């Protein structure tokens, strides 16, 4: 509902007839009283407020979205190629295998252009899991090789220590203080080397655990931890 002013017919100051929609008197210059307001009903809107839903039209081939259709045809062509290879018709199998490769490339391109599709999300998730598995396996292989190298060095070190202990026993038995001091210095060096190798082994295993944790982080499920009140 809105309101509009009603103009006065005559000037309340000098009584001169006023022109339509005049705000000041042309004779005396007095301001004209706009008068009272008259209510006027505004027609209601034809449509009231309603929730808006947006739908995006996507192309379909035979009622199926292009990426899904390409993936299905690729799988069929690949299976037929394997069957042709098995029965001995390898030329036709090669043709179908090449066709499957082309269709797979077309599927990857269509999926790249539609990043919000379920197939694209599934393929991205599969790639992330494959990458995580490869990085995890690689980290374990590197750590295992380094751990074997350090353990072999520890075995050699243990053999040298046993030999040094035998020499120490012989020097003590012969009461050779010079030889005894030399053997004890050698044992101290072996102990220091043993400490370094064990520290290197612990560091290698810790680095492998950290690499595995980082590799699994992109595919790890998110956990919600509720904070506890102190």
pLDDT of residue 5: 46
Q: What is the pLDDT of residues 116-154, one digit of tens each?
A: 556 566 666 777 888 888 989 999 999 999 999 999 999
Q: What are the boundaries of each domain within the chain?
A: 1-32, 66-114, 129-218
Contact call for residues 35 and 3 (beta carbons, < 8 A): no
pLDDT value at 72 more than 60: yes
Task: Give the residue, 145 or 216, on which the prediction is more confident.
Answer: 145
Kindly report each contact of residues 7-14 with a partner whose C-beta sits within 8 Å and lies 24 or more positions away, as own/partner: 7/32, 7/34, 7/35, 8/32, 8/33, 8/34, 8/35
Q: What is the pLDDT of residues 186-211, one digit of tens each?
A: 999 999 999 999 999 999 999 999 98
């Amino acid at each position: 509902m809105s309101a509009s002013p009603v103009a006065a017919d005559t000037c309340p100051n000098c009584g001169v007839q006023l022109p339509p929609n005049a705000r000041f008197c042309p004779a005396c210059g007095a301001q004209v009283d706009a008068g009272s307001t008259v209510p006027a009903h505004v027609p209601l809107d034809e449509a009231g407020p309603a929730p808006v839903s947006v739908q995006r039209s996507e192309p379909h081939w035979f009622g199926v979205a292009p990426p899904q259709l390409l993936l299905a045809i690729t799988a069929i062509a690949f299976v037929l190629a394997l069957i042709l290879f098995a029965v001995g018709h390898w030329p036709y199998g090669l043709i179908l295998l090449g066709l499957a490769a082309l269709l797979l490339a077309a599927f990857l391109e269509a999926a790249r252009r539609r990043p919000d599709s379920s197939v694209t999300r599934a393929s991205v998730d599969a790639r992330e899991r494959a990458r995580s598995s490869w990085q995890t396996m690689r980290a374990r292989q590197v750590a295992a090789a380094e751990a074997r190298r350090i353990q072999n060095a520890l075995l050699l070190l243990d053999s040298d220590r046993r030999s040094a202990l035998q020499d120490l026993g012989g020097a003590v038995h012969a009461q050779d203080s010079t030889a005894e001091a030399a053997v004890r210095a050698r044992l101290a060096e072996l102990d220091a080397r043993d400490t370094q190798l064990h520290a290197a082994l612990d560091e290698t295993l810790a680095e492998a655990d950290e690499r595995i944790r980082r590799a699994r982080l992109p595919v790890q499920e998110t956990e919600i931890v509720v904070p506890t009140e102190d």
